Structure 1
Amino acid sequence: MPDVYIPRRAHRSEFLTLRGLRHHILRWGQPLQGQPPLVMVHGWMDVGASFQFVVDALRQEREVIALDWRGFGLSATTGADCYWFPDYLGDLDALLDALSPDRPVDLLGHSMGGNVAMSYAGVRPQRIRRLVNLEGFGMPDISPAAAPERLAKWLDELKDPPSLRPYASLSDVAERLRRNNPRLAADKAAWLASHWSRETAEGFQLNADPAHKLANPMLYRKAEVLACWQRIAAPTLWVEGSDDQLTRFWGTRYPRADFEARLALVPGLRQAVLQDAGHMLHHDQPEALAAAIEAFLA
């Protein structure tokens, strides 16, 4: 096992019951007079601890809170067959009610979390002071004609639900992380492995509900998403890595021009590109990302 990353700012683990489900949150720093908390929400198959490196790179002391979405990290699973985006919005709303009921927050989301954050900021514009989206591109618009095939796929997968294979050691988990992202340093991968997985009798199991792997029976409706994006009132920072992840993920199914047209509908939007970074830009360039975030929030 390589040397393990040593955090500069230790986080505190807490548990909150949100909408009847036990959620795990990580806290850094203390509340400061006149400064809103910075709330961070992670992407699909990730955990709140994933933000540790960028929190360590922040120059100014501030309160930062990261949530493990339901069915990820140390938050409880639902026991259901699917995870729905409206539930993420409901959990985020309940989290802000619990942590900052009387003042808006600064909200940052990565990937799936960025998509949730954008929709939430349009639904509850008064709750957000500043908004940061890290590579939350959204998805291609899906025709209603695709519904029967998607529903059939979901029903078929319910008969043989997915599973997540265990790993023999934390080193194997860390190696998996580095295969996913070769830019991830070995010491950071070793630190993340212990938050990304837990030891069981069968080995080290990822901290994620396998139900997240099921086909989602709900279609992505671009018009509904953009109706939310157009209502965002907070100044918004869009950040992506210099690697073109949109094309890598979707190819011609979701052209860059389509995405840029969507961004153009967001009032008060600023854009930034981090060099030598891919989709996990908070792992690839935490110092550069922290600098961009702090400059924007100030």
Structure 2
Amino acid sequence: MVLQEKQFAVRFGNLAAQVCLTDSPKPILLMLHGWQDNSGSFEPLAPLLTEHVDLVMPDWPGHGLSDHKGADSFYPFFDYVDDLHQLILQLSDKPIFLVGHSLGALVASCWSAAFPERAKGLVMIEALGPMSERDDKVVDRLRHGVESRLKMKVPRTLPSLDAALKLRRGINKVSIEDLTPLVTRGIQQVGEEWRWRHDAKLKTDSIYRMSTHHAEHLIKGIQCPVLAIIGEDGYPELRSPLAEQRKEWFKNLTVEMVEGTHHCHLQSQQKTAALIIDFVTKLHLTMRDDVN
């Protein structure tokens, strides 16, 4: 299994991606990373998956090796859905299954609702549909979001790659070995310093977040089967009463718990890969049987 670098031209510039594409009838797994991560987040899983699926693992705009958007773009959430759709339109006619972690899962869930005729199956890691908040937060959200743009800072510099690895290990609770692909793809050496590649504008606050009612309608719009993989020590909100309510909005949802925190796919690699393979393989076989 060898991952290759590929560029996809989209409206704002180029999306960088790591891919493993073959001429076999295997389906495509489109793997979408989380906020301030990059496709290196999934590299440790790739050898466990490629026997069963082809892989397309893009870096979101402003992340990893992808181009940054213009000075006037602050990466509003729904633009990611548009970016994803532009990418999907360039892929082959093979069945495509979406796997998203955190932000990637939020975006994938919204795309699956907007394009139910194309969505074949969705795997969400540490997510249960799009993020939302109470209606009465809208004014504070708007003010703080605008003010955060005035306080924007350039990404911090670090003295070494080792320092960057140790910083991310402290945040994500993942081993240095498993974090190395993610960190090395997300950092660059400039003179004597190391700088994160991601666009500084990514760290500004959102000026809008959808209401619970909006999230409910989007989740209910997802027609395809959904697998949610949740870390036992991940985000508490995913094990809350509201999370239990959200689960009821899905038409066809399976929830699996695995050991780990928010990056549980890197802490429980074998279990996560096995769950994904089982989910996708069964759906793909069902699709082939329906055609025949």
Provide the TM-score with structure 2 as the length reference.
0.89
| Alignment match of 2:101 (pick from 100, 110, 116) | 110
Q: Which residue of 2 aligns with 1:224?
A: 214
Alignment of 1:168-179 (within 5 A): 168-179=159-170
Q: 1:158 to 1:59 in 2, by over 3 A?
A: closer
| Alignment match of 1:86 (pick from 78, 85, 90) | 78
Q: Which residue of 2 aligns with 1:13?
A: 5
| Alignment match of 1:167 (pick from 158, 172, 178) | 158
Asked whether the 8 Å contact 2:32–2:105 carries over to 1, the reply is yes
Q: 1:261 to 1:17 in 2, by over 3 A?
A: same
Task: Determine the C-alpha separation between the residues in 2 that align with 1:207 and 1:269.
Answer: 36
Task: Determine the C-alpha separation between the residues in 1 that align with 2:204 and 2:56.
Answer: 29
Superposed displacement of residue 10, structure 1: 2.8
Q: Which residue of 2 aligns with 1:5?
A: none
Alignment-mate amino acid for residue 294 of structure 1: I
List 4+ stretches of structure 1 deviating above 6 A.
none
Alignment-mate amino acid for residue 117 of structure 1: A
Task: Determine the C-alpha separation between the residues in 2 that align with 1:80 and 1:285.
Answer: 39
Q: Which residue of 2 aligns with 1:284?
A: 267
What secondary structure does 1:125 align onto?
A: coil
Q: 1:202 to 1:214 in 2, by over 3 A?
A: farther
Alignment-mate amino acid for residue 261 of structure 2: G
Does 2:46 align with 1:38?
Answer: no
Asked whether the 8 Å contact 1:31–1:62 carries over to 2, the reply is no
Alignment of 1:242-257 (within 5 A): 242-247=232-237, 256-257=240-241
Q: Which residue of 1 aligns with 2:172?
A: 181
Asked whether the 8 Å contact 2:37–2:182 carries over to 1, the reply is no
Task: Determine the C-alpha separation between the residues in 2 that align with 1:244 and 1:192.
Answer: 19
Provide the TM-score with structure 1 as the length reference.
0.87
Task: Determine the C-alpha separation between the residues in 1 that align with 2:267 and 2:192.
Answer: 32
Q: Which residue of 1 aligns with 2:189?
A: 199
* Structure 2: gaps spanning 5 or more residues: 282-292
Q: Which residue of 1 aligns with 2:148?
A: 157
Q: CA RMSD in A?
A: 1.9
Alignment-mate amino acid for residue 155 of structure 2: L
Percent of matched pairs sharing the same residue: 24
Alignment of 1:45-64 (within 5 A): 45-58=36-49, 60-64=51-55
Q: Which residue of 2 aligns with 1:6?
A: none
Asked whether the 8 Å contact 2:48–2:270 carries over to 1, the reply is yes
Task: Determine the C-alpha separation between the residues in 2 that align with 1:116 and 1:286.
Answer: 22
* Structure 1: gaps spanning 5 or more residues: 1-8, 248-253
Alignment-mate amino acid for residue 14 of structure 2: R
Q: 1:154 to 1:169 in 2, by over 3 A?
A: same
Q: Which residue of 1 aligns with 2:289?
A: none
Alignment of 1:122-161 (within 5 A): 122-137=113-128, 138-143=130-135, 145-161=136-152
Asked whether the 8 Å contact 1:58–1:287 carries over to 2, the reply is no
Asked whether the 8 Å contact 1:18–1:94 carries over to 2, the reply is yes
Q: Which residue of 2 aligns with 1:272?
A: 256
Q: Which residue of 2 aligns with 1:65?
A: 56
Alignment-mate amino acid for residue 98 of structure 1: Q
Task: Determine the C-alpha separation between the residues in 2 that align with 1:36 and 1:44.
Answer: 26
Asked whether the 8 Å contact 1:53–1:282 carries over to 2, the reply is no
What secondary structure does 1:106 align onto?
A: strand
Q: 1:160 to 1:186 in 2, by over 3 A?
A: closer
Superposed displacement of residue 29, structure 1: 4.2
What secondary structure does 1:264 align onto?
A: helix
Superposed displacement of residue 293, structure 1: 0.6
